[in-house]
Amino acid sequence: MPPQAATPYRRSWINRLFYRFARYTCRMLVVLLYRYRFSGLEHLPRRGGALVLANHQSFLDPVLLGVPTLRRIHYLARVTLYRSRLFRLLTAPLDAVPLDRKRHLLSGLREAIGRMQGGEVLGIFPEGQRTWDGQLLPLQPGFLLLARRAGVPLVPVGIAGAYEVWPRQRRWPGLGRIWVHYGEPIPPEQVAAMSDQELMNEVARRIAHCFQHAQRKLARLEPAPRAIDSSPHEHHDPLARPRTGSAG
C-alpha cells in the first residue's frame, strides 16, 4: 500500500534564519577544529523524504550529519530532554521530534513518518546508543517501523573520527579529524521486498561499508611519520637550501 500524501512541513522566517546561522556557524567550527570532511553527499536525495541511518560515535553526530547539506535533517529527541529550558530553546528551530517512550511513543513516530512523507529528511542512529570503543554496535529493530511506513529511500552514513574527538567516557570534546561518508540509498521498493531480518542485515552492511570508507579517507589525511636520521656524523641544517637533481 503506497504511503499517503502528507502536508508539507512549514517553518517561520525566524526559524529559517536561525537554522541558516546555526548551520554556517557549526560548519565553520567543525572545519576549523576537526578538519571536517565528507563524501558521497550526492546520494542524499535533493528533494522528497528520506531516512538517514548512521552509526553513533558521539554527541557531535547530529551536527556532523547536517552541516554539509542544505537539506534540513530532523531528529528524534527524548521528551525528558525538554525539561531543560535551554534544550527547548535550541531545538525548537531545529525541527526535533519529541519522543515519549513511555506514554506517547506512537504519536512521536507518526509525527516523524508524516514529516518524511511530507518531503522532509529524518536522521536516526539505529544502534540505539553511542559506541563504547569506536566500533560499530548491533542495530536495534526500532527503525524498521519508520523505514517501512514512511516509504522513502534509506540513506546509510558512516561517521569516523568523532569517537576519538569525543568518546562517551570523556566529559568534553578534544581535537582531531572527522570524515562522514553518505552511501548509496536503499529504494523503498527494495525495502518493501525484504523481511525485517534481511532489511536489518542490509542496513548494517551498508553502514559498515560507509564507516570503513570514512576510516580509509581519514587515514589518508594523517601525516606520514618523518624519518629520523640518527647518524652522529652528519648534521642537517633545516635552513639550508635543498639540493636538486639526482646523485650520480
Structure confidence at residue 99 (pLDDT): 79
Q: What's the confidence (pLDDT) of residue 181?
A: 98
Say how far apart CA 50 and CA 154 lie, in whole Å: 6
CA neighbours closer than 13 Å in the CB half-sphere of residue 165: 21
**Domains of the chain and CATH, by start:** 35-221 (3.40.1130.10)
Strand extents, DSSP E, the chain? 37-39, 50-54, 73-78, 97-99, 121-124, 154-160, 179-182
In this structure, the chain runs to a length of: 248
Per-residue pLDDT of the chain (248 residues; tens, 9 = 90+): 444 456 677 777 888 888 899 999 999 999 999 999 999 999 999 999 999 999 999 999 999 999 999 999 999 877 666 666 666 666 666 788 877 766 667 888 999 999 999 999 999 999 999 999 999 999 999 999 999 999 999 999 999 999 999 999 999 999 999 999 999 999 999 999 999 999 999 999 999 999 999 999 999 986 644 444 444 444 444 334 444 343 43
What percentage of the chain's residues is helix, strand, coil (to nearest 5)?
40, 15, 45
CB 207 within 8 A of CB 156: yes
